[in-house]
Structure 1
Amino acid sequence: MPWLVPNIRSLERIAPSQQTGGELLRYWVESASYIMALDPENNPLSFPVLKYYNQSPSLIHALQSISAGHQYFFEPGKLRRCFEERLLSIQHVRKELDTQTNDPSLAFLTVFVLGLSSYWIALPADDPVLLHHAQAHLQGGRALIDTMLAIPVPQFSPQMLFAFGAYLYWDMACSFVIAPADLKAIDGSDFSFAVEALARMYHPILGYSAEITYVLAKVGRYCRTVEDTEQRDTSLEEELENQLRSIKPTQISAELGLLEEAYRCHGLINIYAIYRRGRVSTASPEAAPSHSTEEQSMADLPAREPSDSWELDETGLAFLEKGFYNAFDEDMAKQTLKWLDYLPLGDYQPLMLPSDEHHSSSESLLSDGDCDTSTETISDDDLQSTIRKLAIQAVHALTQVPESHPSINLHGIPLLTAGSELLAADVEERKLVTKRFRALYSFNHMTANLTALDLLQEVWAIRDLGGATSWLKVMRSKGWHLMLG
């Protein structure tokens, strides 16, 4: 894969790192791994991966590659060691896949880490080829996921469920970036049942948001299709809107509930922006892209009897039947989750939400009263008002979470969508968005956060002059592939 290796002449100008692999691995488990999970204390990609030091050299080199870049904020002039470790990881994972000596879920972790980091090691404006070809890792990851999906649901192992959740997040985060033709569909029944299983549990990357992440992956595909083809499918729009409006944020954790609410606003804003765009030009039904009849909300999935699907066996899937917070047996959990050593946040203390200083008379940020109006029947002004209200709602939901909370690592995607819909009058909200993106850069060291700020400044300038645009349109016009996950 020549596109994964930087130009040799460029490498020769970069000073080599003097750190050993052991030092890079220690930096990973103690610092850099925080960017890969919602809770540092429940992070299967931190200390638990050390047990695979000899079993999966490709994973170890991939993690060391991220460490080598993360400690220098992925600064282009200091990535020689990052690329060296990355090349070693690719060489090893090829051998591991050829010999098929490892569990596919373990090989998936390497591909997952390499795929995400493809976006972290180059600036969108400076290296579009590298970012564009990051889709190859996504396709390779999906091939491994399909291998696991071929296994009957009752035999899903905990490591497979972790891989499913990781892929689901990865797919959602890339759905706006990669052309739909280059993304494999996720609406098959096998994938739906995997999501159903994830919806019953806490996942270190998704938290409790498997269902909304699944819907948003389809929203991203559709929005990118409309952007590329100017063709709409109004029935699919209505279906996606109804799915988003029906999802209720978790009440188990205040921070994760606020995060889910912001992501729901993110999805609705993008759907409503298409409505707004469609007031000008709507494609004929014959030209609209088709969508599978298998697409359905999680609530419509066929019921599965516990005696048929969730019997206790060697794979430890009985915890899925009960759920992590319903009659949960911690002793059983410690046995079933020993592969990744993560447990649910059973004794988690919810965040006490501060009052809304800027909109003290507004409804609770976790209510869905803002989303009950059918946007197909309201006026243009009311539609714009609805979008703006959702944007403000999302910004305030996200910024109520302290900057020190690790869940802010997942704030970038909804923050960009909501921020792009703020008007000149929303001075305070624009300041909050800017401040949070800078906090994100400080937390995860990813230059994409600064690129997102540049993108927002351009969108705001156009809007302040009375123009109509979106962050996706501006990003596409620049040829960028901005992935904030």
Structure 2
Amino acid sequence: MAKFRVRFAPDRFTPKQLPQEALKPRKQAPPRRFYRCRYPCRECRQSRSRCDETYPVCLRCSRKGIVCHAAAREQQWQIHLPALTLISGHHVSSLLHSQSDNQLLQYWLEKTSRILVACDDENPFAYPIIEHLSTSQSMLHIIKSISSAHQHFFHPGQVHDSLEQRIKAIEALRGELGMGSQQLHTLFLSIYLLGISSSFLDHELQDFGHEHLEAARIVIDLILAEEASRKHPLTRLAVGTFVYWDMSCAFLTPTSSNPTPNFEGLLYTFIVEEMTGVLHPTTGPCTELFYILCTLGRYIRHVISGGIQDLDLEILLETKLLNWNLPDPEPSTMWVQTAEAFRKHGLIMLCRFSYAPSLVPWETWTDTDEQSVVRNINQLTRQYAVDIMASLSTIPLTSTYLALQPIPLLTAGAELTVEDSHLRRESKSRLLALYSCSRIPANLVAANLLDRLWQLRMEGGCVTWPELLIQDNMKLRVG
């Protein structure tokens, strides 16, 4: 019988041998996980990108070199209103007329108040401030004003509600002053919050709250004039807060005459006798140092404005800066590094605007002597700037002590040269991180100011940041 075979077919059928791996059942790929960001920054949220939530600057914004509008962090433990029911015999809820009022006060207690202190473990501007709200409508309105603007990074297009509350705060403060029955410490806190928020809300850089600062100075004098009020538990808080505020504004106030140092007045005496060794929530153990820098700032403004230099005052300020020491027992490393940075900031300012008598007698200067002095001053200020950056860089960006860094950062960054490019980047990145943390616009302006100063230096110019502010008629309050 004939056999038939399909053309091109193999003679024998040999089943294909599959490898052992192919015979094993395949493992199903794990389902893809979607991670939801809990606190994404505004840039990642708008671009629909996953934010790694690194605080204060996320990695995506850091890589792109853009400003990171980070979400405000919440405290680990929170107390929600109206859990705080009876404060000084008054119900907190009776002060709040809407859900919005409740939300703004809660936001202040948890987030906004943290920008006012260096360490928020014991923040006197958070829950302790509630006891003053029952007697001070002005304080309640200004708290709501600052919180409303802080939610929107103090953006000029989104501060309408904040300005409305500010107007109400000013009107209420006028009424409280007219009645004359307001407790001095409560009055100071209202004036202080109104004053510092002036620079937060003024994007034209023309208003730093000068009239509020002078009013607060009068209140402090009244507090220190009487023995009973000097012993009040809030007096140290008020004095330290005022000294730091005054120091941050000292350079901005025009002076018509040579500022007279007042190291024997009531304020300085109280600082030395009652606050040495006291860890203030804003100034820490450095209240006396900040008072010295107040006098220095006013003197520098006087010199830049064409005033006559005072050699005796310069020597006095230099001596006080060099001799000032942290009180015993020595505070935390954070405060040690911060204090050293502010001391070097003061010495840089003295070098830039003093006669530098220790280098060569200024009366006998020749052109060669002047060139030598300028060269030596540049070397000295650069070394001080490097020292400042070494001190501040030990403080992590996540630390609350970062809030005290803008003034020494600006001074140090302006003195760094092209050879210090890595330190220049560090100074600017820290100012940008400060803006992400506090949302205060002045930190962003200070970072941009450094770029301008570095560009001017590349073009052969030699101008300091205080001189540049005066040239541009900018009243920039940092700190």
Between the aligned partners of 1:205 and 1:253, the Cα distance in structure 2 is 14
Is 2:464 aligned against 1:439?
no
Between the aligned partners of 1:422 and 1:66, the Cα distance in structure 2 is 35
| CA displacement at 1:186 relative to structure 2 | 4.8
The residue correspondences of 1:385-400 to structure 2 (distance < 5 A) are 385-400=379-394
Alignment match, 1:140: 215
Alignment match, 2:200: 120
| CA displacement at 1:72 relative to structure 2 | 0.7
1:423–1:464 CA contact under 8 A, matched in 2: no
Alignment match, 1:26: 106
The one-letter code matched in structure 2 to 1:151 is E
Alignment match, 1:402: 396
Q: Aligned match of 1:462 in 456, 461, 470?
A: 456
Q: Which stretch has the larger CA shift, 469-478 or 56-65?
A: 56-65
Alignment match, 1:73: 153
Cα gap change, 1:73 to 1:244, in 2 (>3 Å): same
Q: Which stretch has the larger CA shift, 74-83 or 194-203?
A: 194-203
Query: Aligned residues: percent identity?
Result: 30
Cα gap change, 1:200 to 1:460, in 2 (>3 Å): same
The one-letter code matched in structure 2 to 1:415 is L
Q: Which runs of 5+ in 2 are unaligned?
A: 1-97, 365-369
| CA displacement at 1:200 relative to structure 2 | 3.4
Between the aligned partners of 1:30 and 1:422, the Cα distance in structure 2 is 37
- TM score, norm. by length of structure 2: 0.73
| CA displacement at 1:91 relative to structure 2 | 1.2
Alignment match, 1:272: 351
Is 2:415 aligned against 1:421?
yes
Alignment match, 1:220: 297
2:224–2:267 CA contact under 8 A, matched in 1: yes
Is 2:269 aligned against 1:193?
yes
Structure (1 or 2) with the larger CA radius of gyration:
2
| CA displacement at 1:53 relative to structure 2 | 2.4
Alignment match, 2:250: 175
Cα gap change, 1:231 to 1:98, in 2 (>3 Å): same
Per-residue CA distance 1:16-54 (angstroms, 9 max, x = gap): xx9711111100010011111121121100011112221
Alignment match, 1:477: 471
Alignment match, 1:255: 334
Between the aligned partners of 1:440 and 1:249, the Cα distance in structure 2 is 26
Alignment match, 2:405: 411
The residue correspondences of 1:188-337 to structure 2 (distance < 5 A) are 188-196=264-272, 197-249=274-326, 251-275=330-354
Q: Which stretch has the larger CA shift, 186-195 or 51-60?
A: 186-195
Between the aligned partners of 1:185 and 1:121, the Cα distance in structure 2 is 32
Cα gap change, 1:483 to 1:461, in 2 (>3 Å): same
Between the aligned partners of 1:89 and 1:466, the Cα distance in structure 2 is 48
| CA displacement at 1:192 relative to structure 2 | 1.6
Q: Aligned match of 2:237 in 148, 162, 171?
A: 162
Alignment match, 2:74: none
2:223–2:229 CA contact under 8 A, matched in 1: no
Cα gap change, 1:103 to 1:402, in 2 (>3 Å): same
* RMSD between superposed Cα atoms in Å: 2.7
Q: Which stretch has the larger CA shift, 411-420 or 45-54?
A: 45-54
1:249–1:258 CA contact under 8 A, matched in 2: no
Question: Secondary structure at 2:305's aligned position in 1?
Answer: helix
Cα gap change, 1:143 to 1:199, in 2 (>3 Å): same
**Highest RCO, 1 vs 2 (Cα 8 Å, sep ≥ 6):** 1
Between the aligned partners of 1:33 and 1:480, the Cα distance in structure 2 is 27
Question: Secondary structure at 2:450's aligned position in 1?
Answer: helix
Q: Which stretch has the larger CA shift, 72-81 or 247-256?
A: 247-256
The one-letter code matched in structure 2 to 1:275 is S
Q: Aligned match of 1:41 in 121, 127, 132?
A: 121
Per-residue CA distance 1:133-154 (angstroms, 9 max, x = gap): x211011111111111211389
Question: Secondary structure at 2:252's aligned position in 1?
Answer: coil
Per-residue CA distance 1:334-385 (angstroms, 9 max, x = gap): xxxxxxxxxxxxxxxxxxxxxxxxxxxxxxxxxxxxxxxxxx9x84323221
Question: Secondary structure at 1:229's aligned position in 2?
Answer: coil
| CA displacement at 1:280 relative to structure 2 | 12
Question: Secondary structure at 1:195's aligned position in 2?
Answer: helix
Cα gap change, 1:155 to 1:169, in 2 (>3 Å): closer
Cα gap change, 1:93 to 1:246, in 2 (>3 Å): same
Q: Which stretch has the larger CA shift, 191-200 or 266-275?
A: 191-200
2:199–2:205 CA contact under 8 A, matched in 1: no
